[in-house]
Amino acid sequence: MRNYLIDTHAHIDMLENPIEDTLSQMESYNVKKAIIPSVEIATMEKVLSLGQKYHNLYSMLGIFPTEAKTFSEEVEHYIENNIDKIVAIGEVGLDYYWDKSFKDLQKEIFIKQIKLANKYELPLVIHDREAHKDTYDILKEYNKSSEVLFHCFSGSVEFMKECIKQGWYIAIGGVVTFKNAKNIKDVAQEVPLNKLVLETDSPYLTPVPFRGKPNTPAYVKYVAEEISNLRATPLGEIIDITTTNAERLFKI
C-alpha cells in the first residue's frame, strides 16, 4: 500500500521559493514525487534540469496551446533529442478562453504533439479550457497509442464519463476545495478511482485553506482530503489509489 502522495502537475520552475524549500515542504507533507510540465520554449531547459538534478522530480515537455505560434521543427527536434529525460508530452491541447483567433493553428500543433507522443509511446497531458468537444474529437481521431490525462479537469460529469469510456485519466486539483466549485466536486464524487490522479498546478489554483497565496506541491494533500470527504472514502485509500495510478501512468 502506498501511503505517500504524488503531485502530477506542478510548475516548480515558476515558484519563487528556493527549490530546496519546496522539496523540504513536500517531504513534510508526505508528497514524495512531483511532475513538472513545460509550456513554452524559454522554460524547457529549466524543466529538464530540475528533473535531471532531483531524484523525485520528473519532467514533461510540450508547447501550451496559447504558445502554438512558437512551435517549430526546431522545437520538435529539441523534444525528441531529450525524449529519454521526460515522462510525458505536456502540457498540450486547446485553449479557447484566452484567444480564439488562431483555433486552427492550435489544433494543428496539438495534433503534431499527439503524434510525437504516439511515436515514443509517452502519455499525453492535456490542457483543455472551453474546448471540450474539439479536444475530445481530435484525441479520438489522432491518438493511437498514448495514455491520456486531462490536467485540471474542468468538464461536466457527463464529459468526464465520455473521457472515461476512452480509457483516459482525470486530474483534480485545488479547485475542488473551493466553496462554490460544484461542478468539479460532482466530478470528484463520480469519477472512477482507478482513473483519478491528484495535482496542484502550482503556483496557481491554491486550495483552501491557503487560497490567495502561491500554491506549492505540498498542498496536494488538501486535494486528497477534500476528495476523501466528498466521497466518504478513507483518506488512505484515496492516497493509495491515486499514487498507484500516477506511478502506472507515468511509469515512475
Question: Where residue 107 falls among pLDDT bands split at 50, 70, 90?
Answer: very high
Produce one character per residue of 217-233: b if its CB has 16 or more CB atoms within 10 Å, e if not.
bbbbbbbbebbbebbee
Question: In the numeric block, which cell numbers belong to residue 128?
Answer: 483543455
Is the CB of residue 124 less than 8 Å from the CB of residue 114? yes
Please name the residue that has the C-alpha cell 513534510: 28
pLDDT of residue 99: 78
pLDDT average, residue stretch 209-238:
98
Q: Which helix (H) or strand (E) segment is 162 a member of?
A: helix 157-165
pLDDT of residue 80: 98
**Distance of alpha carbon 143 from alpha carbon 221, whole angstroms:** 32
Beta carbons within 10 angstroms of residue 77's beta carbon: 10
pLDDT of residue 100: 78
Question: In the numeric block, which cell numbers belong to residue 195?
Answer: 482513473
pLDDT of residue 15: 96
Q: What is the pLDDT of residues 125-175, one digit of tens each?
A: 999 999 999 999 999 999 999 999 999 999 999 999 999 999 999 999 999
Tell me 172's DSSP state: E
Q: What is the pLDDT of residues 30-78, one digit of tens each?
A: 999 999 999 999 999 999 999 999 999 999 999 999 999 999 999 999 9
Q: Which helix (H) or strand (E) segment is 50 a member of?
A: helix 41-53
Statement: residue 209 has pLDDT above 90: yes
Four-point Cα dihedral 104, 110, 114, 120, nearest 10: 130
- Supply the pTM of this predicted model: 0.97
pLDDT of residue 66: 95
pLDDT of residue 98: 80
